Amino acid sequence: MRLDDVMAVIDALEKAEVRYAVFGAMAMAAHGLERATRDLGLFVAVDEDNIARLRQALGTVFDDPELQEITADDLAGEYPVIQYGPADADYTIDIVGRLGDAFAFDDLEILTTSVGTSTLRVVSPATLYLMKHDTVRPRDRDDAARLRRAFDVGE
């Protein structure tokens, strides 16, 4: 995954006024706690208009008719997690409408920060900690420990 790949997606989301927040490893990186990753995690509001803007935004970056398969019905319903893998890429975009019963878009604390000439909306360290501290993946538990040490969250 290259920085240009990430910024192309972020720029497109911002221009299309998508309600989104980066979460996961890229959010960790935006808060200064980077590690290697193979995905860009996007938490999104799951209303029809927003998901239409999401499809339109991604369509400006990836010329791929499969993007039409990303629907609000799925994200708000039985399939709240959708993975999109662009052609010839070594990464995926993980689109999430909710995480279990714990998190929907409106539950997130979202920070806005500048990244070069663009803007980035990113889940706050405190919300990231809450997402990660009680999961079974060792990688997430390690992320939670790093967040706790760096931002004094979770105590």
Concatenating the DSSP letter of every residue in 98-133 gives EETTTEEGGG--EEEEEETTEEEEEE-HHHHHHHHT
Query: Which residue in 15, 116, 134, 152 binds another protein (CB under 8 A)?
Result: 116
**Sole binder of another protein in the list 1, 104, 126, 153 (CB under 8 A):** 1
Token pair in block for residue 125: 């360290």
Q: Looking at 13-21, 45-53, 79-87, which segment touches another protein (CB under 8 A)?
A: 79-87
Count other Cβ atoms within 10 Å, centred on residue 18: 23
128 lies in the site for another protein, by CB under 8 A: no
Strands 20-23 and 92-96: unpaired
User: Which tokens go with 109?
Assistant: 């604390």
Site map 13..52 versus another protein, x via CB under 8 A = ------------xx-xxxxxxxxxxxx-------------
Provide the minimum distance between the beta carbon of 50 and another protein in the complex, in angstroms, as a whole number: 17
118-123/39-44 β-pairing:
unpaired
Check residue 138 for interaction with another protein (CB under 8 A): no
For residue 45, how many C-alpha atoms fall within 13 Å in the half-sphere facing its CB?
16
Rounded to a whole number of angstroms, the minimum distance from the CB of residue 146 to another protein is 6
SS3 41: strand
User: Is residue 59 part of the contact set for another protein (CB under 8 A)?
Assistant: no
Interaction site with another protein (CB under 8 A)? 1-3, 5-7, 25-26, 28-39, 66-67, 69-70, 74, 78-92, 94, 96, 99-100, 113-116, 120, 122, 137, 145-146, 149-150
